[in-house]
Amino acid sequence: MFLSKAKQALARRADNVLVEKYIKGPPGSLEQDPEKIEARIRWYHEIAERYEAPELFSGEGAFFPAPATPKPTTQRGKKGSLELWWPSGYEPFNEEVADDYMENPYNHTVRARLLTTSHGSNLAATRPPAIIFIHGYRGGALDMEQLLWPLSSWLEAGFDVAMIVLPHHGQRKLPEASRPPYPGFDPRITIEGLRQAVWDTRALIAWLLDRGATHVGVCGMSLGGLVNSLMLGAEENLSFAVPTVPLISFAAWGEDHGTLLGRGEQQKRYKEALQRVTRVIDPLSRKSLVPAERVGVVAGKNDRINRVHHARSIAAHTGGELVLIPGGHLLQFGLGDAFGELGRRFHAPHPDSE
């Protein structure tokens, strides 16, 4: 019992260091000029008008169109892994930022890795189910991601395991860039980044199914958990979903960490404007296409980055199970056990799937 409490305290401390150093920043670091804040509130409302057509929130692909099945270039990697890359083919939704968003040539190529235990046969009918892992903000170095994620829980449960690099992360970012361009100041760029992440991950699902996987699920962590949650309302071939310590709402996240601009009534209006402009990338704005019993949302009891209420909100929206682990955001104690149980549960395809 003492060890458990000690680990939970360690998880809280690790997250708090990150919050204090990189999220809250030094006192006075946030812009608090009332006139500039008013200008930003007006700007958010102007941008939001572009993203409010009812069809953008339907399940018919108006905002998240289905990509073609890719034909990746492949290369054998370490310990039998398969390195994959293919042209993204993504086209921005908003032409106002298309040139800026597309100017990074490294981002035009999707990068992924496949770990499999099914080397003994090339027959498509014998392929196992697959799960795709989506990393968090500023991640994407696949060697490191492979070390950090408890992937063995899924491999031992009989899954092929794929990892995909988010747009503008890892090998897909400009070499001189210190950080990805999203989430960031311009919500239009953030929207494009998340929309492309859904596009690229859906392409990988299509390839895995075409390769012969019985069914495919997705597990995204943190920012990847937001992508994972958006896919619940976008991808009809998603068999199961495991959003893990997910970010769900930018407005709620700003409220958690004191980064909303303004004070009093002005801060309230700023939050409302932020909620409006990000509604098109809010997973709660679309009906989930995945059966409730095929959704497991993992939250860290001691997460100080994406607090439990984010995971709870998507679990309630989908009807899925909220799975609590004793760890936090950085030190995810208990995640391997949670993955093992979810892997055993989701190994069989849903009875209604063809």
Measured CA distances, 277 to 12, 193, 223, 227, 274 (Å): 32, 15, 18, 17, 5
Identify the CATH homologous superfamily for domain 32-62+74-121+129-346: Alpha/Beta hydrolase fold, catalytic domain (3.40.50.1820)
The one-digit pLDDT tens for each residue of the chain (354 residues) are: 345 787 788 888 888 888 887 776 544 545 678 999 999 999 999 999 999 999 999 877 899 999 999 999 999 988 779 999 999 999 999 999 999 999 999 999 999 999 987 544 444 456 899 999 999 999 999 999 999 999 999 999 999 999 999 999 999 999 999 899 999 999 999 999 999 999 999 999 999 999 999 999 999 999 999 999 999 999 999 999 999 999 999 999 999 999 999 999 999 999 999 999 999 999 999 999 999 999 999 999 999 999 999 999 999 999 999 999 999 999 999 999 999 999 999 999 887 765
pLDDT for the residue 295: 98
For the record, the structure tokens of 109 come out as 């190529």
220 with 227: CB under 8 angstroms?
A: yes
What confidence score (pLDDT) does residue 236 get?
94
Q: Token pair for residue 135? A: 């990393």
What is the C-alpha to C-alpha distance for residues 287 and 303, in angstroms, rounded to an integer? 27
User: What pLDDT is attached to residue 122?
Assistant: 46
Q: Which amino acid is at 190?
A: T
Task: Look at residue 118 in the predicted model and tell me its pLDDT.
Answer: 59
Tell me the residue type at 46. E
**Contact (Cβ atoms closer than 8 angstroms) between residue 144 and residue 228:** no
As to burial, measured by CB atoms within 10 angstroms (0-12 exposed, 13-18 middle, 19+ buried), residue 78 is exposed
Whether the predicted model's global pTM rises above the 0.85 cut = yes
Q: What tokens does 222 get? A: 């943190």
Q: Taking the alpha carbons of 250, 253, 257, 263 in that order, is the dihedral positive or negative?
A: positive
Question: Up-side HSE of residue 42: CA atoms within 13 Å toward CB?
Answer: 6
In sequence order, what are the residues at sequence separation of 6 or more whose Cβ sits closer than 8 angstroms to the Cβ of residue 266? 34, 37, 38, 41
Phi then psi dihedrals of residue 117, to 5 deg: -105, 5
Residues 6+ apart with CB under 8 A from 122: none
Q: Which of 7, 2, 5, 1 is nearest to 333 (CA)?
A: 7
Q: What is the distance between the alpha carbons of residues 292 and 315, in angstroms, rounded to a whole number?
A: 9
Predicted pLDDT at 11:
87
How far, in Å, CA of 344 to CA of 159, rounded? 10
Give CA–CA dist 228/241, Å, rounded: 7
CA 299, 300, 305 angle in degrees (round to 5)? Answer: 100
Read off the tokens for 92: 């921005």
Q: Is 321 helix (H, G, I), strand (E, B) or coil?
A: strand
Q: What is the CA radius of gyration of the chain?
A: 20
Residue 313 burial (10 A CB sphere; 0-12, 13-18, 19+): buried
SS3 29: coil
Rounded Cα distance, 337 and 348, in Å: 19
Contact 230, 248 (CB under 8 A): no
pLDDT of residue 19: 81
Strands 296-300 and 321-325: parallel
CA atoms within 13 A on the CB side of 331: 17
pLDDT at 21: 76
- DSSP character for 319? T
